Structure 1
Amino acid sequence: MAKEPPRLSKLVSELAGCSRREADEWIENGWVSVDGVVINRLGARVNPKARIEIRDATSRHRSESVTMLFHKPCPVGDEAMSSGRESAAARIRADNRWTEDGSGGRFQLAHLRGLAPAGALDASAGGMLVFTQEGSVARRLAGGDARLEKEYHVLVDGVLAADGLDRLRHGLVLDGIRLRPAEVSWLNEQRLRIVLHESLKQQIPRMCALEGLRAREIRCVRIGSISLGRLPPGEWRYLRADERF
C-alpha cells in the first residue's frame, strides 16, 4: 500500500517552527498556499515537495499568542495523590488574575483557546505552572533542555547524613539512569534548595527518599530565568515581553 502524503499542517509546523494548532489556524484563515493555491481545508494532504507559502499575517497572529504563569498551591492530603491534570480553563480565569500583573496584557477569552500546560509539574508539587499558546515555548519546556534549570524549595523530614548533600548533588541513580549534577543546599533547618537540569517523574521525592528524607512540600520557584516571585498561590499573570524561556 502506497504511503499517504503528509498533512499540510505537519509541513507548515515543520517549516515555520509553530505548533500543529497554530498551523491549523493559519490554514483555516487562508494564510497558507500550496503551489500558489490557497488551501483552507483542515486535514488536507499534500506532496512533501510542493511549494508552501505562508502569508505575513501569521507573524502578527503569533505575536498575539500568550504565555501565562500560574502559581499552583502545594497540594495537601489526598490532593497530592490526584493526577493534577486540571484544565487551563479551570485555573486561568479573569477573577484570579494577579492584581499586580505588570505585563500590560488585557485578558481575552481568546487567550484560553488552545492554552495548554507546558512542561511537567508532579501532582505532589506546587509552584510555577506554565500555560501557553506558543508551540515554541511548549516544545522548549517539554524537551528536557538542560539550559532551562528548574529551582525547587523542598520542605523535608528526616536526618541527612554528613555526606548526604554531596550524594544529592551527584552520584544518585534513578530507574537505572545516573542523574545529572544538581545544585543542593539548605535554605534553613528543614528546607532544601534543589536546582535540577532534568525532569524525571517524582524525581525530588525519590532523590530525598534515597537519602532517608521525606519530601513534605515541593514548590517550583523558578524555570530558567523566570521566577515565581511574589505571585500568590492560586493566581496567575502573563509572561512579560521582556521575559523569555
Structure 2
Amino acid sequence: MTTLKLKPGAATPPKAPGKPPVRRADPAKRSRTTVPEYIAKASTARDVEAGPGPEKERKARPSAAPHQVAGKLPARPAKSPVSASQQDRKQDGRPRQFDDRDTPRRGGKQRDGFESGEFNQDRKTNPKFSPKPVPSQPELPRLSKRMAELGLCSRREADEFIANGWVKVNGEVVDVLGTRVAPDAKIEVSKEAHQHQAETVTILLHKPVGYVSGQAEDGYEPAVVLVHPDNQWKEDPSQTVFKRGHLRGLAPAGRLDIDSTGLLVLTQDGRVARRLIGEDSTVEKEYLVRVTGTLSEEGLRKLNHGLSLDGVKLKPAKVSWQNEDQLRFVLREGRKRQIRRMCELVGLTVVGLKRVRIGSVTLGKLPVGMWRYLRPGERF
C-alpha cells in the first residue's frame, strides 16, 4: 500500500461527483437516553386509574415503565432478564391476583393466578370452583369392588375376569380395568369364570409351633412350606390329587401366631378369603387356651365383653372354662395376638393356644404338620 504525504497548504483534491452526503438526524429529535413521551403518558394514566394504594406500593411503583428509573433506560444487564412472572410480584412477595379470570387454571401455579380449593363444590355456593364432573364419574364404585361386594369373587379375581372378557354389565361385555358402574347395575359372570373358580383349591393345615402364617420372618419358615405330597393326610376325604399348580397364589386366610398351633386355612379362592378375613366377616373361630394364674368372676365377665386393645373396644366374645386350667374362646375378629393380650389384661398368662374350629369346619383328627383339601360341599 502506498502512502501519499501532502505538503502543508496543499489544495484538497476534488471530490468525485455523485450523490450528496446524507445528513444525520438531529440528536435532539431522537433521544436514546430519555423515556418517550407516549410511554410516560400511558404509565401516568394507569396510576390514575388504579387510584391511591398503600404507601409501600406507591413508592415501589415509579411513574415511568416498571423497567425504567429516573427517566432513563438502564444498561443491558449481564445476566438473563427478569421474567414477566417475577415482575408481577409485589414488594411483599405475594403474587398478583388476576381477578378478571372467570375460572382458575387446573394444575396451574400460584404465581399465574391459580387459587387452590375444592373443585367439586356446590355451584350455588361457589360456582367458580365447580367444573362439570369428568366422564369417569369417580363417585361410582369400581366394577371389581362391586363384584367383591356381591360375593361373586375377590377383587384380584375380578380384575382377572374383567381382563379376560368374562364379565358383562347390563348385557355388555366389559374388559377395561377400572371401569365404574352404578350400584344397581346387573353384573353377570360367564361360564369360563365359574370354571376357573372351580379349579381353585382350599387347604386345611394343622400348623405346628414355630411356623409363621404368612411371609418368612426372623428366621421362621412360612407354613406353606409344609404343603407338599409327603405331608398330605392319607385319610383326606376329598380324594383330590396334589398338583404343583395348587401352590400358585396359595395364601393364608387369617393368622396364627408362631407360638400357636391348630387350624390354618390356605386358599386360592378369593371368595373364601373374603368370607374369613373380610371387613364384614362374622365367621366364628374357636380356640382352646391353657393359662396360669387366677381369674375372678369380674375378669371372666370382662373377657366376654368389656376389654379394649389399642384404644379400640373389642367385639363381644364367648369365654368359658373348658377344664381347671383351660379356657374356651370363641371370637368373631382376629386382632394381632388378641387372646394373649386379653388374658394379660385380667392377670392370666397363656402357656398354650390351639385353634380347633373356623365356622363349621373343624380341625378334627388332622395330625400336626399334616394338611388336607377342603372337600366339595364343605363350607365355613
Same fold judged by TM-score > 0.5? yes
SS at match of 1:106: coil
Instruction: Specify the SS of the correspondent of 2:357.
Output: strand
| Superposition map of 1:92-171 within 5 A | 92-145=227-280, 147-171=282-306
Matches of 2:221 and 2:372, distance apart in 1: 20
Question: Which structure has more RCO (C-alpha within 8 Å, separation ≥ 6)?
Answer: 1
Deviation at 1:176, TM superposition (A): 1.8
1:209–1:29 Cα change, 3 Å: same
Distance 1:52 1:162 in 2: 52
Structure 2 equivalent of residue 238 of structure 1: 373
Alpha-carbon distance change, 27 to 180 in structure 1, aligned in 2, over 3 angstroms: closer
Contact 2:144 2:178 in 1 (8 A): no
Q: Deviations over 1:162-221 (max 9, x none)?
A: 432222112222222222221112222211111112211111011111111111111111
Structure 1 residues 139-173: Cα deviation after superposition (integer angstroms, max 9, x where no partner): 11112545311100111122222432222112222
TM-score (norm 2): 0.53
Q: Contact 2:206 / 2:369 at 8 angstroms: preserved in 1?
A: yes
Query: Which residue of structure 2 lines up, in the alignment, with residue 63 of structure 1?
Result: 198
- CA offset digits 1:76-114 (Å, max 9, x no partner): 9xxxx95967163x1211110111110122211111111
Amino acid corresponding to residue 122 of structure 1 in structure 2: D
Letter in 2 for 1:234: G
Aligned residue pair count: 233
CA contact (8 A) 1:153 1:219 kept: yes
**Other-structure match for 2:62:** none
**Contact 1:118–1:141 (8 Å) recurs in 2:** yes
Corresponding position: 1:74 with 2:206: no
- Is residue 149–residue 196 contact of structure 1 (8 Å, CA) maintained in 2? yes
**TM-score when normalising by structure 1:** 0.79
Q: Please state whether the residue corresponding to 2:323 is helix, strand or coil.
A: coil
CA pair 82-187 structure 1, distance change in 2 beyond 3 A: farther
- Quick one: which amino acid aligns to residue 344 of structure 2? A
1:5-84 maps to which residues of 2 (within 5 A)? 11=143, 14-15=146-147, 17-23=152-158, 25-26=160-161, 31=166, 45=177, 48=180, 54-75=189-210
CA contact (8 A) 2:159 2:177 kept: no
CA root-mean-square deviation: 3.3
* Conserved 8 A contact 1:5-1:45: no
Q: What is the alpha-carbon distance in structure 2 between the residues aligned to residue 157 and residue 4 of structure 1?
A: 59
Unaligned runs of 5+ in 2: 1-105, 107-133, 212-216
- Aligned position for 2:222: 86
Q: Deviations over 1:104-136 (max 9, x none)?
A: 222111111111111222333221110111111
- 1:115/1:133 contact within 8 Å kept: yes
Q: Residues 3, 217 of structure 1: CA spacing in aligned structure 2 closer, same or farther, 3 A cutoff?
A: farther
Closer/same/farther in 2, CA of residues 152 and 82 from structure 1, 3 Å limit: farther
Shift of the 37–244 alpha-carbon distance from structure 1 to 2, 3 Å rule, reads: closer
User: Displacement, 1:15?
Assistant: 3.6
Q: Which runs of 5+ in 1 are unaligned?
A: none
Computing the radius of gyration from Cα coordinates, the structure with the larger value is 2
Give the number of the structure whose residues are more often strand, by fraction. 1
Q: 1:36 to 1:212 in 2, by over 3 A?
A: closer
Whole-Å separation in 1 of the counterparts to 2:369 and 2:272: 22
Cα contact 1:5–1:46 (8 A) shared by 2: no
Task: Confirm whether residue 199 of structure 1 aligns to residue 334 of structure 2.
Answer: yes
Q: Indicate the residue corresponding to 1:209 in structure 2.
A: 344
Q: Out of 144-153 and 200-209, give the one that drifted further.
A: 144-153
